Structure 1
Amino acid sequence: MTSILSTPPAIPAGTLASRPQPSLPAAGGLLLRPWEAADAAVFFAAYHDPEIRHWHTRQPASEDQAREWFDLYRQAWAEETGASWAVTRGGGEVLGRMAMGGMDLHDGVAGCSYWMLPAARGAGVASRALTTLSVWALGEAGFHRLYLDHSTRNNASCRVAVKARFLLEGTKRSDAVHSDGRHDMHLHARIRGDE
């Protein structure tokens, strides 16, 4: 039996996948671009950083697996379920990662996540990249709501979210596992029309 939807989708199926995943220029000479095979070494090495390892428990085991993840990112774009970008200085040096996951095209909702390499921290790179991703997603891409969550103990991630105009909506108790066990998570969101 086919179900009938009572409301039209926020983003019609095929809208995103009908074109290549975009590269997004950001302030300060940044460029968010799709991951390339040549990025595997820096991507794999990023997960040896203690901060990234602590907050991101899913980690590639090798450069080959990093390239496999890049293939999965391309597949997610084609299936309109997710997207991942390398945050770069002008398209070259990789500074970090921005991603959208759990894309719900019908409701126009997606989750965001990110990490930055140590050299890029504290300089506003993450907040500029997240702001750029948000403007594209809530504008041209057609999403209505973006959300992200982070450990209540991850103050740096909270600052990034607030600078990128993601409002704090509440706390999800014991919601995620990090390297030292379960953490409460702050939930932030930005919706189309937020100032």
Structure 2
Amino acid sequence: MPHTSLHTLAPTLTEPRGHGLHLRSWDAGSDADAQTWLRGILDPDFQRWNTPLKLWSDLAGARESLRARAREAREGRSASFRITDGDSGTTLGHLGVNEISLPLKLARVGYWVLPEARGRGVATRALLLASRWAFTELGLHRLELGHADGHTASCRIAERCGYAYEGTLRGAMFEAGRHDGFRDAHLHARLATDPEPPAPDVR
């Protein structure tokens, strides 16, 4: 039976390149992509700060999650990027442009980086690249970034990428691993009219 690719990025949209990275489509039909997705979601650091709506923990769940993202991409509601090294193609993490509203020219961004790729500015470089893409390719005006209160690393990434801190949202996120408890979140945002931060040092 021939392999059928279910990409999580609409085929009419480009895959951003720059800052030593290539933001590629996730392929929901790829075992390797599903395994990488699962490893990222099960990473303890990810689970400390993020609580997906579905708390799956196996390969079947990972495939289901990627298929859902592929459907959202086809419907123009999100774009899910596999962050890869621009030279080797090695997968480094994920960046999503989510909850896209073209009428409001608004979307929310989120990201995670695999443990072995941390400490190299991957999230910063990927967010800068995806932000430019969202403003130019999608014509958006505002990008929002939310993270759990206390997640100082994510705060620093947001600020380096020009996402200004706009306040604390009370009880805006699930507690880690729970859907029956809530915690505060920081809201950051960047506008298309804001100055673009300088390009990062690519090592």
TM-score range, shorter chain: 0.7 to 0.9
* Aligned residue number for residue 20 of structure 1: 12
* Aligned residue number for residue 6 of structure 2: none
Q: Which runs of no fewer than 5 residues in structure 2 stay unpaired? A: 1-8, 196-203
**1:1-195 matched pairs, under 5 angstroms:** 19-28=11-20, 30-36=21-27, 37=30, 38-58=32-52, 59-90=55-86, 92-179=89-176, 181-195=181-195
Q: Which runs of no fewer than 5 residues in structure 1 stay unpaired? A: 1-15
Paired with 1:93 and 1:73, the residues of 2 have a C-alpha distance of: 21
CA contact (8 A) 2:171 2:185 kept: yes
Corresponding residue pairs, total: 178
Matched residue of 2:137: which SS?
coil
User: Alpha-carbon deviation of 1:65?
Assistant: 2.2
Deviations 1:79-99 (A, max 9, x none): 111111111113732111100
Q: Once the two structures are aligned, what percentage of the paired residues are identical?
A: 38
**Residue 64 and residue 22 in structure 1: after superposition, are their counterparts in 2 closer, same or farther (change >3 A)?**
farther
TM-score (norm 2): 0.81
User: Alpha-carbon deviation of 1:102?
Assistant: 1.2
* Deviation beyond 4 Å, 4+ runs, structure 1: none
TM-score (norm 1): 0.84
- RMSD of Structure 2 on Structure 1 (CA): 1.8
Deviations 1:165-186 (A, max 9, x none): 1111111012111217532111
